[in-house]
């Protein structure tokens, strides 16, 4: 990945009105749209990388917060050609969009990038100054890392008593695992998710996306919003601690309750549900169909729709309790019914039945699905290095404001100079001096 040093301009904001909310958006200009967002005026100092933290701060940016992503800059003796810089996921690939990691692009929209050596005296001073002007700081270093740099919660809350400091770790800040590095797959193993994921006779498997990471980001996002609300009353910030293991254990929900209250151990059962039958995937002649009948009435509807009404009155299947006890027999019968016909046939048969059902789509099918297209789940933006790229839209829509605006993920160090100049009032000479010392850099393809 090659970089040159030159001045930059801020990426253009791409506005997409959300169909169904045009009455509130009315194709607002960028400035008007930003002013209507609930976190407009909130500044977030983002020291996160990988997934959980960047996902959290991206969601805050979607709601209008100014997110300043501080990325690692380590250059030896001013040798800018041998810098180790940026969020780790900038190098995660292939695939790449030109030279940009598509992984990084997926979770860093609506942010500004500052390339900074936080170990240098100049870098530390910049961080303290940014913290003094920020509302929220989010970090996901191994516990104690920022404290050793004089940049931990106690240090920065002394600079800004209203600062909300959110730490995201693998296993928490105390306890026997506190010093361990935390990755989703490890936490999902320790926290039981892999134990219950996979086919009955197969090995434990991880989920297709990092659900523990993403859920931790969601927890952190909502915790920060709660802390912002409380700060309106107390005028004080606080330290929020989120970790992957606590998230994963909390997500065990009914599986945990089964064990804790009835001493029932969980097992891997593929796409099936431990307490509801039928509630799983069935193979068709050309793919797979997912069917869920959550109560006896829905099961009767299912049986009638597929032309086997007699199954619902069979004493082995007349109640969910009976169906769970006779799961193997019923699933084999339903499999024989579904397998001969294509998925499209069953989609047509079940339309309007009240049954929960759907195909198992591959990605081309997902993004050509009429409901997905109706929701405008994809937006196109212009990236300064990758060109035109497609990003997923925010999942939540609001009647009171339009959250459809989006800026492209930043190039590494794209906003270093503008942040120092416009937020901290650094002059040109001071900025050049910091560049020469290796404390900061403005990197561009």
Average pLDDT over residues 12-19: 37
Task: Give the pLDDT confidence score for residue 11 in this predicted structure.
Answer: 36
The dihedrals phi and psi of 396, each to the nearest 5 degrees, come to -105, 140
pLDDT bucket at 75, cuts 50 / 70 / 90:
low
End-to-end Cα separation, the chain, in angstroms: 8
Active site residue 369: no
Q: Is the pLDDT of residue 28 over 50?
A: no
Buried b or exposed e, range 266-301, using 16+ CB within 10 angstroms: eebeeebebebbbbbbbebeebbbebbbeebebbbb
* 248-267 pLDDT per residue, tens: 999 999 999 999 999 999 99
Is residue 74 within 8 A of residue 166, CB to CB? The reply is: no
What value does the CA radius of gyration of the chain take, rounded to a whole number of Å?
Answer: 26
- The structure tokens listed for 97 are 């969009």
Q: Is the pLDDT of residue 16 over 80?
A: no
Q: Is the pLDDT of residue 145 over 50?
A: yes
- The structure tokens listed for 181 are 């590095």
- The structure tokens listed for 92 are 């995660």
Is residue 302 within 8 A of residue 278, CB to CB? The reply is: yes
Looking at per-residue pLDDT, the higher value among 215 and 18 belongs to 215
Q: Is the pLDDT of residue 306 over 50?
A: yes
Return the CATH number of 279-370, one of 3.30.50.10, 3.30.1540.10, 3.40.640.10, 3.90.228.20. Answer: 3.30.1540.10
Q: Is the pLDDT of residue 305 over 70?
A: yes
Distance CA 272, CA 288 (A): 13
Phi-psi region of 235 (alpha: psi -120 to 50; beta: other; left: phi over 0): left
Number of C-beta neighbours around residue 348 at 10 A:
11
3-state secondary structure of 45: strand
Is residue 411 within 8 A of residue 99, CB to CB? The reply is: no
Q: Is the pLDDT of residue 374 over 50?
A: yes
Distance CA 276, CA 254 (A): 12
Half-sphere exposure at residue 392, Cβ-oriented, CA atoms within 13 angstroms: 16
pTM of the predicted model as reported, rounded to 2 decimal places:
0.89
Average pLDDT over residues 14-19: 38
- The structure tokens listed for 37 are 């967002």
- Pairing label, strands 66-74, 43-47: parallel
Is residue 408 within 8 A of residue 348, CB to CB? The reply is: no
Number of C-beta neighbours around residue 344 at 10 A:
14
Q: Is the pLDDT of residue 397 over 60?
A: yes
Task: Give the pLDDT confidence score for residue 13 in this predicted structure.
Answer: 35
* 179-224 pLDDT per residue, tens: 998 999 999 999 999 999 999 999 999 999 999 999 999 999 999 9
Average pLDDT over residues 285-305: 97
* 76-111 pLDDT per residue, tens: 555 545 555 799 999 999 999 999 999 999 999 999
Give me the CATH topology for the region 4-250+379-444: Rossmann fold (3.40.50)
- The structure tokens listed for 371 are 């409901």
Task: Give the pLDDT confidence score for residue 10 in this predicted structure.
Answer: 32
Helices assigned H by DSSP within 237-395:
244-250, 253-262, 296-305, 320-325, 327-338, 343-350, 363-368, 370-374
Distance CA 262, CA 256 (A): 10
Task: Give the pLDDT confidence score for residue 35 in this predicted structure.
Answer: 58
> What is the chain's mean pLDDT, rounded?
90
* 335-359 pLDDT per residue, tens: 999 999 999 999 999 999 999 999 9
Equal CATH topology for 4-250+379-444 and 279-370: no
Q: Which of 168, 133, 160, 153 shows the shortest CA–CA distance to 42?
A: 133
pLDDT bucket at 36, cuts 50 / 70 / 90:
confident
Task: Give the pLDDT confidence score for residue 32 in this predicted structure.
Answer: 47
Domain boundaries, the chain: 4-250+379-444, 279-370
Q: Is the pLDDT of residue 169 over 80?
A: yes
Q: Is the pLDDT of residue 19 over 60?
A: no
Q: Could you write out the three-class secondary structure of 212-279?
A: HHHHHHHHHHHHHHHHHHHHHHHCCCCEEEEEHHHHHHHCCHHHHHHHHHHCCCCCCCCCCCCCCCCE
Is residue 193 within 8 A of residue 207, CB to CB? The reply is: yes
Which is catalytic among the residues 46, 62, 184, 213? 213
Is residue 216 within 8 A of residue 186, CB to CB? The reply is: no
Is residue 243 within 8 A of residue 169, CB to CB? The reply is: yes
């Amino acid at each position: 990945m090659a970089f040159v040093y030159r001045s930059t301009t801020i990426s253009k904001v791409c506005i997409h009105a959300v169909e169904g909310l045009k009455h509130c958006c009315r194709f607002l200009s960028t400035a008007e749209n930003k002013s209507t967002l609930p976190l407009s005026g909130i500044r977030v100092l983002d020291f996160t990388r990988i997934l959980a933290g960047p996902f959290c701060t991206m969601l805050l940016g979607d709601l209008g917060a100014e997110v300043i992503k501080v990325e690692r800059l380590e250059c030896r003796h001013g040798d800018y050609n041998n810098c180790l810089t940026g969020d780790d996921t900038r190098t995660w690939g292939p695939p790449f969009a030109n030279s940009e990691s598509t992984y990084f692009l997926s979770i860093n929209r609506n942010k500004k990038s500052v390339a900074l050596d936080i170990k240098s005296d100049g870098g530390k001073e910049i961080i303290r100054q940014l913290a003094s002007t920020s509302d929220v700081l989010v970090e996901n270093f191994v516990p104690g890392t920022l404290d050793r740099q004089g940049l931990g919660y106690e240090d920065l809350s002394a600079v800004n008593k209203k600062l909300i400091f959110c730490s995201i770790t693998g296993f928490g800040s105390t306890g026997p695992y506190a010093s361990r590095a935390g990755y989703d797959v490890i936490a999902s193993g320790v926290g039981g998710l892999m134990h219950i994921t996979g086919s009955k006779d197969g090995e434990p498997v991880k989920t297709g996306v990092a659900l523990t990471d993403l859920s931790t980001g969601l927890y952190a996002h909502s915790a920060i919003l709660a802390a912002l609300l409380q700060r309106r009353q107390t005028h004080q910030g606080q330290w929020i601690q989120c970790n992957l293991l606590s998230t994963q254990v909390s997500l065990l929900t009914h599986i945990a309750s089964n064990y804790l209250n009835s001493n029932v151990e969980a097992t891997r059962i593929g796409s099936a549900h431990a307490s509801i039958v039928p509630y799983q995937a069935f193979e068709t002649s050309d793919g797979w169909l997912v069917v869920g009948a959550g109560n006896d009435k829905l099961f009767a509807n299912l049986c009638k729709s597929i032309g086997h009404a007699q199954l619902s009155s069979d004493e082995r299947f007349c109640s969910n309790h009976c169906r769970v006890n006779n799961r193997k027999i019923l699933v084999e019968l339903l499999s024989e019914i579904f397998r001969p016909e294509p998925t499209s046939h069953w989609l047509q048969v079940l339309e309007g039945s009240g049954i929960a059902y759907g195909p198992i789509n591959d990605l081309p099918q997902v993004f050509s699905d009429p409901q997905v297209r109706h929701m405008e789940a994809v937006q196109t933006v212009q990236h300064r290095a990758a060109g035109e790229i497609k990003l997923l839209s925010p999942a939540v829509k609001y009647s009171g404001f339009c959250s459809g605006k989006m800026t492209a993920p930043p190039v590494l160090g794209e906003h270093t100079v503008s942040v120092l100049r416009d937020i901290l009032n650094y002059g040109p000479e001071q900025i050049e001096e910091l560049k020469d010392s290796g404390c900061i850099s403005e990197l561009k393809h």
